[in-house]
Amino acid sequence: MPSHFENIMQSARTLEPMLRQLREEFHRHPELSGEEYRTSARIGEVLVDEGLEIMDLGLETGIVARLPGEVDAPTVALRADIDALPLAEQTGLAYASETPGLMHACAHDAHIAWGLGAAVILSRMQDRPPGEIRFLFQPSEEKTSGARVLIDAGALEGVDYIFGGHNKPDLPSGVVGIAEGYLMASSGRFSFTLVGRGGHGAIPHLTIDPIPAAATALAGMQTIVSRNVSPLDSAVVSVGSVHAGTAGNIIPSEVEITGTMRSFRPEVGDLVETRLRELVEGAARAHGCRVEWTTLSRGVAAVNNHPGATGLARDSMVALLGEDNVVEAVPVMASEDFSLYQEEVPGCFLWIGSGYADSLDGPGWHHPEFAANPDCIPIGAAVLAASAIGALSAQ
Ligand code: NI
């Protein structure tokens, strides 16, 4: 008798034409974070057609559905994010975005198709293990704010495990990356203004020039990772914008600086934030300026894969794809609000290969020419379905 996992892959293959079509439809109609109205409605249609129960959580966008299980059996949640980005698509695909300036440049269109595919596979599965399976179609991942909305609305109530995945263009389609522990970083933002007193460029002694203060601050910030964070830890401090001045002979009154900081362990995040503040304020003081902080925020926690959930997912992936197609995931310093679910229940986030084996260095996430390999559509659906079945069967 074929195993659950063989059945899952077979169902995914059978559903492939439908799922690819859905993916193309979502790709054509990208919507920004918090504005996923059409997307949510369409997801709901497919789920209702398939007989899933939509949970009444009062969501503005996003949708949560369930396949009910027996009362005493566990509940497993699967999460797919659904939002797009403000980027003009340049893929040249037949199903490219029809909304100017918006694009599924992180391939969440594929994630939606995976989630829907998993829902259809599992709802049609004959001898599904007892236990509820819940499907979280989350809005606003790109703003790392949608997970909080779903959690606060009660989407995780009664959930024992949660699984999710992100497409990974540098992994070939058909391969899954999995790792216990940190997979994606905690993301913080900073923006501040160094305020001095402007004046004539030829009469600098009567001004308080914020530009040398900015130079000192910027140089100092480079030492946070190199001199303060342990070489055995990971952190990033990147300055993304520096704005000041209008002409070569005018000393400006202000310099505005913005950037991002990333880390895995919360203690490292604390250290980075503390040193950033000290270095910027020290530089300002040394040059007679003051600092106005607009933002100094830590953002969402790091994606941290729970050992138990990861073990279950790994076993399921090996059973589904074979040992050779399950690799150790390489963490990245990008961030994801899947971490918020993991703060509530044991969870595992996977890399689901979406690349082309012969060109793994093509355009990546958030690039106007990026699109996931369509071959990953049935695989991702099977991966999510298998994660749920693996966890329910292990109980
Ligand atoms: Ni993404």
Parts of the chain with a pLDDT under 70: 1-2, 395
- Please report the pLDDT score of residue 285 as a whole number: 98
Extract the runs of DSSP E, i.e. beta strands, from 26-159.
Answer: 53-54, 63-67, 75-81, 132-138
Could you give the 3-state DSSP secondary structure of residue 116? helix
Q: Where in the sequence is the domain holding 281, given as residue range(s)?
A: 186-297
Same domain membership, residue 108 and residue 49: yes
3 state SS of 271: helix
Domain termination site, one of 269, 297, 325: 297
Residue 45: its H or E element: helix 37-49
Q: Output the six-digit token pair for 87.
A: 């980027």
Q: Do 228 and 253 belong together in one domain?
A: yes
Tell me, in angstroms, the distance from the centre of ligand 1 to residue 331's CA. 14
- Tell me, in angstroms, the distance from the centre of ligand 1 to residue 106's CA: 5
pLDDT at position 395, please? 64
The rounded Å distance from CA 27 to ligand 1 centre is 14
Q: What's the rounded Cα separation, in Å, for the pair 234 and 60?
A: 37
pLDDT in tens, 142-185: 999 999 999 999 999 999 999 999 999 999 999 999 999 999 99
Q: Based on the domain organization, do 53 and 114 belong to the same domain?
A: yes
Whether 11 and 156 map to the same domain: the answer is: yes
**371, 26 in Cβ contact below 8 A?**
no
Cα of 33 vs centre of ligand 1, distance in Å, is: 12
Whether 43 and 100 map to the same domain: the answer is: yes
Ligand 1 centre from 202 Cα, in Å?
50
pLDDT score of 243 = 98
Q: Say what the pLDDT of residue 2 is.
A: 67
CA of 261 to the centre of ligand 1 (A): 18
Residue where a domain stops, chosen among 276, 297, 318: 297
Distance 109 CA to ligand 1 centre (A): 10
CA of 80 to the centre of ligand 1 (A): 10
Q: SS3 for 357?
A: coil
180 with 190, same domain?
no
User: Domain of 266: which CATH number?
Assistant: 3.30.70.360
For the purposes of burial, counting CB atoms within 10 Å of the CB of 297, is it exposed (0-12), middle (13-18) or buried (19 or more)?
A: exposed
Query: What pLDDT, on the 0 to 100 scale, is given for residue 394?
Result: 86
User: How far apart are the CA of 192 and the centre of ligand 1, in A?
Assistant: 28
Rounded distance from Cα 166 to ligand 1 centre (Å) = 6
142 C-alpha to ligand 1 centroid (Å): 7
- Of 252, 280, 297, the position where a domain reaches its end is 297
User: 63 alpha carbon to ligand 1 midpoint, in Å?
Assistant: 18
- CA–centroid distance, 165 to ligand 1, in Å, is 9
Tokens of 232: 């055995």
**Diameter of the chain measured on Cα atoms:** 87
- Asked if residue 8 and residue 156 are part of one domain, the reply reads yes
Q: How far is the CA of 268 from the centre of ligand 1 (A)?
A: 24
Is 86 in the same domain as 132?
A: yes
Structural domains in the chain (count) = 2
- Shared-domain flag, residues 138 and 37: yes
